């Protein structure tokens, strides 16, 4: 048996009072609001009344903490897989707005279609679809949850939809603790649902761009 549905879940809000582009940096944890958001995402998936048989998480703390409500609800131990991690970014550890005001950094913006500031979009899409295929084929009858990050989830959406991977990061439809759901028919992925189950109106950190 293969899986029934695969959900890409974005992590909840991070405690980030200095508005740093944290990327893959360690020790960035969920805020209290972020923990509530993560629980709302787990509640949303549980409301489908289907078993979740596989749970994956990015190795970053904010993703593992967002996977905890799923682990508790479905009695699973998350499998940590680097393929669902945040992409690399040369601006990591900086305040993005300040960095963009420095002409010395403009070189990194020279080719946004790649993008020139970090991991190529094509590489992100390939690693995400690779782990999705493996998880789908390995799962027992039931759903798969992967807790990841805004960029990998949005890039997967674009690739599955057959859209260009080049995009403005500010336009991503991938809110905190959102759930983007997919099914695979044969070898072809299709997106079947998108939901924002968590209230994010009071979030301070809504995205690291």
- pLDDT of 209 higher than 60: no
Q: Which CATH superfamily is domain 5-195 in?
A: Phosphoglycerate mutase-like (3.40.50.1240)
Own/partner pairs, 157-165, CB within 8 angstroms, 24+ separation: 157/191, 158/121, 158/125, 159/125, 159/128, 159/129, 160/189, 160/190, 160/191, 161/191, 165/113, 165/121, 165/122, 165/125
Q: What is the pTM of this model?
A: 0.94
Report how far apart, in Å, the C-alpha atoms of 137 and of each of 2, 16, 143 are.
5, 37, 12
For 39-96, the pLDDT digits (tens) are: 999 999 999 999 999 999 999 999 999 999 999 999 999 999 999 999 999 999 998 8
Domain ranges of the chain: 5-195
């Amino acid at each position: 048996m293969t899986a029934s549905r695969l959900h890409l879940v974005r992590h909840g809000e991070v405690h980030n009072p200095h508005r740093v582009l944290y990327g893959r940096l360690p020790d960035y944890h969920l805020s209290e609001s972020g923990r509530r958001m993560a629980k709302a995402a787990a509640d949303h998936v549980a409301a489908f009344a289907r078993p979740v048989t596989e749970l994956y998480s990015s190795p970053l703390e904010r993703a593992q903490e967002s996977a905890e409500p799923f682990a508790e609800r479905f009695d699973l131990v998350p499998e940590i897989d680097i393929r669902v991690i945040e992409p690399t970014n040369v601006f990591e550890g900086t305040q993005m707005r300040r960095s963009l005001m420095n002409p010395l950094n403009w070189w990194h913006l020279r080719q946004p279609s790649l993008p020139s500031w970090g991991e190529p979009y094509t590489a992100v899409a390939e690693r995400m679809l690779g782990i999705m295929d493996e998880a789908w084929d390995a799962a027992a009858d039931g759903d798969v949850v992967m807790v990841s990050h805004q960029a990998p989830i949005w890039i997967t959406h674009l690739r599955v939809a057959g859209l260009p991977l080049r995009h403005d990061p500010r336009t991503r439809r991938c809110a905190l603790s959102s759930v983007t759901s997919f099914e695979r028919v044969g070898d072809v992925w299709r997106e079947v649902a998108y939901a924002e189950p968590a209230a994010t109106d009071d979030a301070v950190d809504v995205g690291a761009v």
